[in-house]
A and B are shown apart, each in its own frame.
Chain A
């Protein structure tokens, strides 16, 4: 067992973990932050995306011990304390960018990371950026639309609803 300490969603968090404990496991099982989901075991689906030191990372493909000392942000940190959704979350709700909700935490965390680097991405840039986030419900239409809307672009010309 190794002791790890990190900042998670602005709060100090620590625990004893095995070498093989993944960050996703640490978040879900040790800290009870079950918003981060695990949808595959080959590092492709992206349901587990969190931010580590500001970068989007697949939390199922980084050891908890590797994140020792890091600043980690999960989906649970994205809304304001009073429950107000952030711009990406709000756009996902406004434009029906989610159905079952399982891929949603990773989608939102990826979208937030994208908009930090590229404040006004094109449709093609958004689709390319989401290569590592799989959604089975929405056909991506409303996800792409929501991200464009969250970046302040006019999406009224994109097919209805």
Chain B
């Protein structure tokens, strides 16, 4: 019988009512008195030298308040990068400056050159078109391998080359890995592209800057997954505003998927300009602008090799990846192809020797950073594709090959620096077998063939490291910030609670699921708990929402703070009932004395804390409010097994997803409804990557897929109903809730299943196709079939 409240229940989401009735409060819904609007004049060339900017005519146009150029930002800080990777020689990565507005050079289409602030958005845009830029176009650096050739044009003149870093992991293992390859009975090699994606949350980015002369405080309203991180980065590194004079507010956020983690130039501009002109300044990105200014994701080119012994045991794995950084280093960009990718290369397998090489490259393209999964989808994709290819080469069942090599004993220390605490990969594969009805596939294939279609089955596993992250560990790995989370739990005098958390929902439903945890702990109704988030002025310093971390890290902070509350309330209750604290039990919202019928309600204890007439004032302070910062001891390791069935139209190459099943182990589940929704969305994004989406640049650095006319977003008729299951549970061993995180799994686990299925379909028809690069568009599939 499903629970109807507390942990494990699926109450309706309380945030839904405002979203369903049109009274959500997104950043673009914020309009401040007297606000002006900014339009950014963006580069239409990928690489160029600015010889001069003449804004005289533009400045005289109707409604123009002020025009800013790079010159206005001399002395203002560079947009910082939050992660420093050390290369295989022990040297720090090359780190270029990233100005708010271009300083003499533009480095990608979309790089902001000037900013026009005017009374209306259209006036700002009208005037921006009248700015004359004397631009000397330079050769564009687009192809990553060409970019690191000797003599290539440099994206940044002050760097030695376009190579950000050349990373070896684990460098000391390289010799042993190479030796294992020379002794291998079989080696499977695969070269592949992990296609560049645009996150495309449906809400485009917006920033509204405000400055209060009466107290000298700046406020930024922004579409962010982590307002405290923006305040720290923008305040301390770009604009030089101390935290107590800077407030960052992220109200309702319309999706993020990673691309709203980062600190962007437009945020700094609006904050800066609001003070400069003494009026609020608003920027609303159009979708077209988003394509050339939001950080992109993925964009890896990889060669992966898997060595097996004569019994088909994996003996070694070796990869070489080129990872595109784009023109500048976005906030977490360097960490994505390294610590979020290399550390996952063991996957679900006990491969003893692994070596990962990553060359991060600057190009004249939009910066690339984390997108849902961030590094882990890239790792999973290459590993699960090469394992599938190996099974086909060896003529063995791909599932059996996986099972044979599964890690089965935990904790398990991988050769790539992480320790999996728990998991049961056979259990999720068994569950997948059941929900995907693998045994019925042959009949379904026969039916498809009758209809002239090729049917394919693709299966894969995944493991991810999320619940990001242990601060001491990431500090060693180059993070320039801690990755703890915070919560303040404030109990009101009549027993209701407010949780102020550094986590911030952008669709995940924290306002519903977080109260479930507290309701369970205290035994009260969820309606007594309110979540406050998204505003640095009323939440403790916290690191925000990404890396499937909110419940595992933020929820744990909330649990710790609530435990402190309960401990204090227990003391108060003991005093009120004149009993020993050790005998006090909390159940169903009341404290009782064990073995007696004495009890006091939660609300009465809370009231006593604030009206301390009968209170142990000599022992404890009045009031009931506690803060906790939780820093996880390890990552969490969700895992699962995914299955996709496709039909391929042999005449056109069109792939149709016939079914998709996912069996995940997320540890304990707080709200099954929300968890399923997260998996659904992740799967759709994974199917999008596999079949539809791709950000494509031409050789001149023009983005060809620069709107929804050419960037194919998954629609309702591109996907089926999914079958998802998360009944396999191995609780996380090191956080108080035993939860692992579920936000990214779907996007991590699904692309290889789709591609494996298409390859299976084509091979079933006797086609000699071992790989097709994503997206598997009809054109590409047809070409592969007829190649």
Chain A residues with a Cβ under 8 A of chain B: 18, 20, 28-29, 33-42, 44-45, 47, 74-76, 78-79, 83, 85, 89, 92-94, 96, 98-105, 108, 123-124, 126-128, 130-131, 133-145, 158-161
Contacts and interface: CB of A to CB of B under 8 A. Distances in A.
Given A39-B203, A79-B21, A108-B20, A141 B287 contact: no
Contacts of B31: 29
B673 A161 contact: yes
Contacts of A42: 287-288, 707-709
Contact of B202 (A34, A136, A139): A136
A130 B716 contact: yes
A20 to B, nearest CB: 7
Given A85-B21, A96-B673, A96-B677, A45 B202 contact: yes
Given A131-B716, A137-B255, A140-B684, A98 B10 contact: no
B716 A105 contact: no
10 cross-chain pairs, A with B, having the tightest CB-CB distances, nearest first: A35-B22, A101-B19, A102-B254, A100-B507, A139-B684, A99-B507, A139-B680, A75-B22, A40-B287, A130-B716
Tell which of A34, A93, A136 has the most Cβ of chain B within 10 Å: A136
A141 B718 CA distance: 11
A62 B653 CA distance: 37
Contacts of B22: 33-36, 74-76, 78, 105
Contact of B21 (A45, A78, A102, A135): A78
B221 interface: no
Given A37-B203, A89-B20, A101-B16, 8 more contacts: A78-B20, A83-B21, A89-B21, A93-B20, A96-B677, A101-B24, A134-B715, A139-B714
Interface stretch (B415-423, B536-544, B721-729, B751-759): B721-729
A44 B675 CA distance: 28
B20 A92 contact: yes
B522 interface: no
Given A93-B20, A101-B15, A133 B287 contact: no
Tell which of A94, A124, A159 has the most Cβ of chain B within 10 Å: A159
B254 A159 contact: no
Contact of B715 (A39, A130, A138, A158): A130
Interface in B272-299: 286-288
Contacts of A44: 708-709, 713
Contacts of B204: 38-39
Contacts of B531: none
A125 to B, nearest CB: 10
Given A102-B26, A140-B719, A39 B681 contact: no
A47 B202 contact: yes
B674 interface: yes
Nearest to B255: A100
Contacts of A138: 677, 680-681, 684
A143 B716 contact: yes
A39 B723 contact: no
B8 interface: no
Nearest to A128: B717
Contacts of B29: 28, 34
Given A99-B508, A101-B15, A134 B708 contact: yes
Contact of A101 (B254, B709, B719): B254
8 contacts: A36-B22, A39-B202, A42-B288, A103-B202, A130-B716, A137-B255, A137-B677, A160-B724
Nearest to A18: B122
Contacts of B684: 138-140
B676 interface: yes
A37 B24 CA distance: 10
Tell which of A39, A75, A158 has the most Cβ of chain B within 10 Å: A39
Nearest to A147: B716
Contacts of A145: 721
B194 to A, nearest CB: 20
A52 B701 CA distance: 42
Given A89-B20, A143-B716, A161 B201 contact: no
B685 interface: yes
Contacts of B17: 83, 85, 93
Contacts of B375: none
A107 B458 CA distance: 32
A78 B21 CA distance: 7
Nearest to A144: B716
A35 B16 contact: no
A37 B12 contact: no
A62 B476 CA distance: 55
Tell which of B21, B204, B286, B723 has the most Cβ of chain A within 10 Å: B21
Nearest to A47: B202
Nearest to B284: A38
Given A35-B22, A96-B677, A100-B506, A144 B715 contact: no
Nearest to A126: B716
Given A126-B716, A136-B257, A140-B719, A100 B202 contact: yes
B83 to A, nearest CB: 26
A34 B287 CA distance: 18
A94 B722 contact: no
A45 B20 contact: no
B509 A99 contact: yes
Given A45-B287, A100-B255, A136 B713 contact: yes
Nearest to A85: B20
A158 B287 contact: no
Interface in B1-45: 10, 12-13, 15-24, 26, 28-29, 31
A89 B21 CA distance: 8
Contacts of B722: 139, 141, 159
A131 B15 CA distance: 26
B683 interface: yes
A102 B10 contact: no
A47 B506 CA distance: 17
A131 B26 contact: no
Contacts of B707: 40-42
A105 B254 CA distance: 12
A143 B716 CA distance: 9
Contacts of A41: 286-288, 707
B334 interface: no
Given A37-B203, A41-B286, A92-B20, A136 B673 contact: no
Contacts of B168: none
Interface string B678-713: 001111110000000000000000000001110001
A76 B21 contact: yes
B275 to A, nearest CB: 25
Contacts of B28: 34, 37-38
Nearest to B674: A96
A146 B183 CA distance: 57
A58 to B, nearest CB: 13
A161 B287 contact: no
Interface string B251-264: 01111010000000
Contact of A96 (B13, B252, B685): B13
A39 B506 contact: no
A139 B683 contact: yes
B672 interface: yes
A104 B681 CA distance: 15
B330 interface: no
Nearest to B23: A35
Interface string B236-273: 00000000000000001111010000000000000000
A141 B684 CA distance: 9
A35 B122 CA distance: 22
B200 interface: yes
A138 B16 CA distance: 14
